[in-house]
Amino acid sequence: MLKPLKHSLLALSLIFTSGAIADEVKVAVAANFTAPMQAIAPAFEKATGHKLVASFGATGQFYAQIKNGAPFDVLLAADDTTPARLESEGATVPGSRFTYAIGSLVLWSADASYLDGTDAVLKAGQFRHLSIANPKAAPYGLAAMQVLDKLGLSEAVKAKLVEGQNITQAYQFVSTGNAELGFVALSQVYKDGQVSSGSAWIVPDTMYDPIKQDAVILKQGADNPAAAALVEYLQSAEATRVIESFGYKLP
């Protein structure tokens, strides 16, 4: 009767030991990368044993929070300038910054018959509201303004703009019908090689500055094995397959 008990105690010992060596990584994640991260997180946890706690929002807001002492270990930004700025300010682990994805911009409507795959509706002004993310805080919002400038429509649509705090809110304005169309991240409406709902015009990437999205380990995560493990995992074949499936390009 003692043998099963001995095995049970050994099993419990292994469970507690594995729990003791597992670490938690707190990650600030650009809103456009919400869906990929939600797919990547459980796979990362299963592969490494570490726990991932993600917060989603606008990159500009994360910068302010990090400078004010927010306890993030890793930043996955929607641009490359914010991580570079933090790096120059000594707020990151040297050598840890890399581009994990290159984003794409799409003009999208929840109505499957609204857009015909071109910018015709945008040019004709056949809408009451056009949703974009805050161009001062969200790189996808800045990209949207660059497209409007290139098309010569910035002034024409100014009164119709509905501005979200981040790309998630910009998407929500369109998905709920509060705006007929909007500029959102392709990753929000794309899965496995196609736009998964509504109608869209995938904006040529020559019309806006490349949306290089960089990740970096912050000072807070310097001695956290889970932070190093996440940065390594994001560059693995498993993670990059997920990233590409949501319409991102890789460096």
40 is in an annotated binding site: no
DSSP string, the chain: -HHHHHHHHHHHHHHHHHHHH--EEEEEEEGGGHHHHHHHHHHHHHHH--EEEEEEE-HHHHHHHHHTT---SEEE-SSSHHHHHHHHTT-B-TT--EEEEEE-EEEEESSTTT--SSSHHHHHT--S-EEEE-TTT-HHHHHHHHHHHHHT-HHHHGGGEEEESSHHHHHHHHHTTSSSEEEEEGGGTEETTEE-SSEEEE--GGGS--EEEEEEEBGGGTT-HHHHHHHHHHTSHHHHHHHHHTT-B--
Which residue, among 191, 190, 240, 247, has the nearest Cα to 215 in the 3D structure? Answer: 240
- Tokens 């299963």 correspond to what residue? 46
Residue 217 marked in a binding site: no
Residues 6+ apart with CB under 8 A from 191: 245, 246
Give me the torsion for CA of 104, 161, 78, 50, rounded to 10°.
-100
Bind-site residues:
59, 167
Bind-site residues for molybdate:
59, 167
